[in-house]
Each structure stands twice: as structure tokens, then as C-alpha cells.
Amino acid sequence: MKQRKIKFELFILMFVFMAIMGCSKSTSSDNVVSPPAEKEITALEVANLMGNGINLGNTMEAYGHVSLGVDAETSAYETLWGQPVTTKEMLTAMKEAGFDSVRIPVAWTNAIDYESGNYTIKKAYMDRVEEIVNYALDADMYVVINEHWDGGWWGMFGSATSETREKAMELYVSMWTQIAERFQDYSDKLIFESGNEELGSRLNDVDVSKDSGALTEDESYETTNKINQTFVDTIRGSGGNNSERFLLIAGYNTNIMATLDDRFQMPKDSIANRLLISVHYYDPWSYAGSEDLASWGSESEYKAQNDVLAKMTKFTDQGFGVIIGEYGALPAKDGTIKENTVDYTKNILDNSDLYGYVPMLWDTSSFFVRQDLKINDEGLAKLFKDRSLSAQSSLSDEEIKENARKSLELGIAKGKEYDTSYVGPTLNGDEKAVAWIMYNSNDSNVSYSAGDTYDPSSKTDGVVASDVEINGAGTYTISLDFTGTTEGFANSVLFSAIGITNGELLFPGYIVTIKDVTINGDPYKMTGVPYTTTDDKKTTRVNLHNPWVGSIPVEARLPEGDLSSASATVLDNQTLGEVETISVTFEYGPAK
């Protein structure tokens, strides 16, 4: 008999047996029974059983600590960000729509007066989280609960004051001790997640701790590892089923590439094969994160998605289950599904099927409309239904993987067809070098080919780019015009760089010397000296504004060789303002 079918039918038989024995009543007490069969499965196997997932977004993590205090009605927090009060029917309908697991992000400090040193979670808030957890468990879903953004208290870990850093850990440990105690007898279908995107560089956030920012990148990695280890130790040291519960470890920034960095280390555990790793996927942000009209589907975009998701096998090869805790393409401003959303989503699900990951759609009633109790797009509705555990229960694991491989190949072919509609500079293997300006606006609503893979189709609608082919040493000008976008401008800058694709291969050692930067037609004085470097040993890069660079790389190239004044942020995003146009003129040639 086929492996996945065996597992699925085993669980069906188990629950039928429990029903016959009078153990499967439709009450929350069901969820404190830990089915014996679950004790035999590993983190990789539980990822298989979690199937296709969804987030209950903008709900229990809606942050009202500052505006509502800690004693408001729980529903006031729950509905603060525009979502309805969660009902049992909503979770049941999610299950029927094809979702076998749900992630419930939680802002626990909504109900903690931590500023006064009182770390007790208000009972009503804990009760409400438990009630929603039971809705999901009663619907036969796996459930993940975490500690989400939560107003940015995480920045206390990056405080310049040791006392504040110690208080941050005290709060974290107290919080998880209480959560672990409340849910200690719940079955393995309830999974705890150590954090969210804040475990990483956002430990330096200044939302709460104004003197934060003290951690270097290395120290941020070290602190992230320490927090994750403390999470595991805290849960394992509590009572009941927590000694064996599956635990989900938040990756560094939950960013795939940052989590793959060897500085990120999975925590040690007292029990084998019970840890999973969580990362998020919103690439390219110009498509997934922007509300402006945007398109996706070029061959390079398919390949980029496939390549980065395949890298997470570093963790599955070590026995850690992989959960894509958030992914999705944000709808357009008018609420409609953007072009190619089904293709984008399907390719993520195909990769997940191939490698055994758990994809968990980020949703705030954008796709599954909670008031209507259904998916609002027919294509997505069919896709999610077809990927449910029950829909695939008749297939073996290898059949599922083979179907995924074929579908991924079809995606690449579809991307090649998509590329024929693009008119502009093109590449032919390694024969051409093209220079362009990578750009992401500060609100992420406007972008152009941000990343070392040159993809002029990866842009916000209305952006006009003047990219140039590089034929050797000389002077070149490249530019972007944002006046044709919905807003008519880019809101300052979140990230920008000059890229020369194939530059390192065709012109090794060449240096870019910026001669002139023009913003909105006026000369712009840079705030530092830009340098030439490469991240992938293929594309030459000059950072214009890259705040994620912790230190100037030793291999950076400058005409004079003196790196003391080199900067990765020569555009000042605090004063840049509205950017309608930007152009850069530079000299390109070998080091002198």
C-alpha cells in the first residue's frame, strides 16, 4: 500500500476508534489527548501530515497594547486590524477549503503589563487564544502558535543597557513558561513557534527600546541562537506533553538566505527528530509585497524561486521539517488578485510537494474571506482544494514528488513563453553584460529588478528603465522613471544598487566610479563613497542604499584602494523624499 495513504488512513482509523470508545466528543477536552500514533513520527513526517496551511493573520497578533492598554475586552484586540471575531465555522470552512494546518500569530504583550515588571498574561487573553486553538483542532487541523511582532518589544534584546536585555529574556521565558503550562497536555497537533521575523536584525528595533541598535550582525546571530535555545529549553523543562512536543524554530529574519548562513544554528534538543525550521517567502517583493499592479512569471523568476526554495533542503537533509510560515502575493489596491497569482502560488506548492515543506499562506481575509467562509478566487480555490491531504491521500510520496517535478518543468516552459512579450536588453548566456539600477521604494510599493539576477520584467507597472549594454571600458548612464506608476514617484528608498550582470565574468577586476547622480533632474550629493563588489561572483554591484551591510567587505574595490570612507548607503533615505526620476552616470574600467 502507498506510504502517504497508509499514514492518512491510520489517522482516520485512530479517530474512528476514539469515537467508538467515547473519546472523540466535539469539545476542547479532545485536544488534550495525545494520540499514541503521533509519538512515532518524526519532524519530516509531521511536515508531511501538516499538508497545506494558512495563517489567521491580523487577528490575535493585532497590536493594541499602547492604544487599548492591557485590560480591554479581548475582542477589541482581535478586531483592531479590521478582521471579524473568529468563529468555529471559520476554521471548519478553512479545513473544507483544503487547509490542513493553521498558524495563529499572537501578540501576547497585549495582555502583559511588562513595563511594570509584571509578566503575567491576562487570563481572558490566554483563554481566547486557547478557544481559537480548539476551533482548529476540532476541525482536525494542525495548529501553530507563536510570539509575533508584538509592538517591537524584541528590540529590548538589542539595547545598549544590559538591564534591559536581561528584562527582555525574563519576559520571553515567563511568556513561554505560561503558554507551555496552559497547553502542556495538548496533543502533538499543537506546535509552538519561537518567534517571527524579529529573531534577527530586528532585535535592534527601537519601537520600544529607544537605545536599541547595539548588536552587530554577528551579535544578532548569536542572540537569535541564544533565544531559540532558551525557547527549546523552556518548553522541554515544562510539564506534560511539552517534553516531546514538536517545536518550530524561527530562522534568522525568517529569510531563507540569512537562515542558510552558517552563523545561524539550530538549537540542541533533549529529544531527537522533533524540531522544525520556519522561513518566509515573499520574493520578489516587487510582486509579492506591492499593492500596485505588478506581474510575475518570467523564466528567470520561476528559476529564482525554484533555486532559493531548493536550498532549504540543507535542513531537511539534517532531519528538520521545513515550514514556509508565510508566503503569498498581496492583492492589488482594489482587492483583486494580481496577474499570475495562481501561477506564483502553484509553483510554491509544487516546490513544497517536491521537498516535503509545509506552505502556510499569509492571509488577512484577502484570499479566504472569513465573512463568506470561502476562497474568493476560483483558480486559487481549486488549487488549495487539490493540494489538501485528503485530495492527495491516494498518491504515494514518490507520485506526489513526480507530479511536482513535472509541474515545475511546465512552469519553466511557461516562463519562456512569458519572456517573449518583453522588449528591451536581453542576455545570451554569458555573452552580454547589462547595467541597471536595482530599486525598492521605502514603502516597497515601487521597485525595479531588485537582486543580482537581472530581470527587467520584475518591476512595478509604469516604471520605465533605461538600462545599457556594457561593451567594455567607458562612460555609461542608466536611469529609472517612476512617473508612470500609480503614485507617480518612489517613496524615498529602501534598497538600491547599480548592477552589471555578467560583469565579474566578462570584466574581472573592473571598477565602477560614479561621476554623477541626478534625482528629479537635479544633481545629488552622495553621503559617502560607493565601492565596487559582488555577492554572487557573477554580477558586479555598487550599493547605493543597502542598510543591511554590516561592514564593508574586504574584497571591495575602490580606485584608490582606501576603504575608510566607503559606504553602502550613499543615498540618504531620511532626506531623499519623493523620487520621480533617478539617473546615474559612471565610468567603468580596470583598476589603475
Distance, in Å, from the CA atom of 135 to the CA atom of 98, rounded to the nearest integer, reads 16
Report the catalytic residues. 197, 326
Kindly provide the residue ranges of all beta strands, DSSP E only, lying in 88-221, ordered along the sequence.
101-104, 142-145, 190-193
The C-alpha atoms of residue 368 and residue 592 are separated, in whole angstroms, by 60
Residues 407/346, Cβ–Cβ less than 8 Å:
yes
CA distance 531 to 47: 44
- The C-alpha angle with vertex 388 and arms to 387 and 391, in degrees rounded to 5, equals 90
Alpha-carbon span 147 to 127, nearest angstrom: 16
Question: 220: which 3 cell numbers?
Answer: 544578532
Closest CA to 65 of 85, 80, 54: 80
Single out the residue of 453, 505, 405, 203 nearest to residue 308, CA to CA.
453
Element (H, E) at 478: strand 474-481
Q: Which residues pair with 359 in a beta bridge?
A: 324
Cα distance between the two ends of the chain: 69
**The one-letter amino acid at 491:** N
What backbone phi and psi angles, to 5 degrees, belong to 387? -95, 10
> Is the peptide bond between 105 and the residue preceding it cis, with omega within 30 degrees of 0?
no
**405-423 b/e (C-beta count within 10 Å ≥ 16 → b):** eebbeebeebbeebbeeee
How is residue 434 written as a grid cell? 547589462
Of the candidates 248, 194, 235, which has an alpha carbon nearest to the alpha carbon of residue 360? 248
Residue 30 CB contacts under 8 Å (≥ 6 apart), including other chains: 23, 24, 137, 138
Do 321 and 276 contact (CB within 8 A), yes or no?
A: yes
How many CB atoms are located within 10 Å of the residue 403 CB? 15
The answer to whether the beta carbons of residues 150 and 203 sit under 8 Å apart is: no
> Which 8-state DSSP code applies to residue 85?
P
CB atoms within 10 A of CB 311: 14
CA distance 225 to 219: 10
Q: H helices within 3-122, ranges in order?
A: 3-20, 43-50, 65-68, 74-78, 88-96
Give Rg (Cα) of the chain: 25
What is the Cα–Cα distance from 360 to 263, expressed in whole angstroms? 26
CA distances from residue 475 to 252, 514, 531, 560, 587 in whole angstroms, order as listed: 40, 10, 17, 19, 4
What does the block give as the cell for 156?
529590548
C-alpha cell at 585: 552616470
The H-assigned helical ranges of 356-476 are: 378-386, 397-419
